Amino acid sequence: MTDMPQLYLITPPEIDAGFEGRLSSVLDSNDIACLRLDLATKDEDRITRGVDLCREVAHRYEVPLIITDHSALVEKLGLDGVHLTDPRPLRKLRTDWGPDPIIGAFCGTSRHDGMAAGEAGADYVAFGPAGPAPLGTAGRAEPELFQWWSQMIELPVVAEGALDLATIETLKDATDFIALGEEIWSTEDPVKALRDLTAPFRA
């Protein structure tokens, strides 16, 4: 793999009215391949409001908007697809939906689960956490996993979770997408944070 990874954004678990401006600034200053709504709430009204806020911005910049897990809301809310944290429903979803909606699958650190998701019809697989895992948490998706995948498997791969500059430097030639969320939204200046984290792309 010689091309630089594309950028994939994940929303914070909670978004407020000010998020629209921050999101617009980030999309205005970067080419973003996909935006994923990843809210902590399961309240449909709050999710719908979050979708409405993000959709307006995403569509203005022609960025696909997908949602974590709530596949039943994809058609209802006019979303472009779903990101499954549990890939088991993937095969049935693909059969029901056909080829068009995006279906991504989070596969943790498991090469086997990633290959199974690909066979079931996933458009991409995500592995993570790709960065240093905090103490007391599950293992890390090591750089070797991404390097193997990019050499052996054609299906696009996403690196996500706890990403820092050193990890992105290591993965820049081994993943199709770098997914960033709290890594930038938790800072005072998400545009600067994203620019700093993607410095290896410009080296």
Within-domain flag for 148: yes
Q: What CATH number is given to the structural domain containing 182?
A: 3.20.20.70
In the 8-state DSSP scheme, what is residue 12?
-
CA Rg, the chain, in Å? 16
Looking at the 3D structure of the chain, how many domains does it have?
Answer: 1
- Tell the residue number behind the tokens 């991409």, with chain if given: 124
Domain contains 149: yes
- In-domain check, residue 72: yes
Question: Does 59 fall in a domain?
Answer: yes
Do the domain assignments include residue 143? yes
Which domain covers residue 142, as residue numbers?
6-202
pLDDT in tens, 81-97: 999 999 999 999 999 99
1 in a structural domain: no
93 touches 75 (CB < 8 A): no
Rounded Cα distance between 5 and 178, Å, is 6
Q: Do 11 and 36 form a contact (C-beta atoms < 8 A)?
A: yes
DSSP per residue over 158-181, as a string? EEESS--HHHHHHHTTT-SEEEES
Residue 140 lies in a domain: yes
CA atoms within 13 A on the CB side of 165: 9
- Res 1: pLDDT: 44
The model's pLDDT over 149-199, given as tens digits with 9 standing for 90+, comes to: 999 999 999 999 999 999 999 999 999 999 999 999 999 999 999 999 999
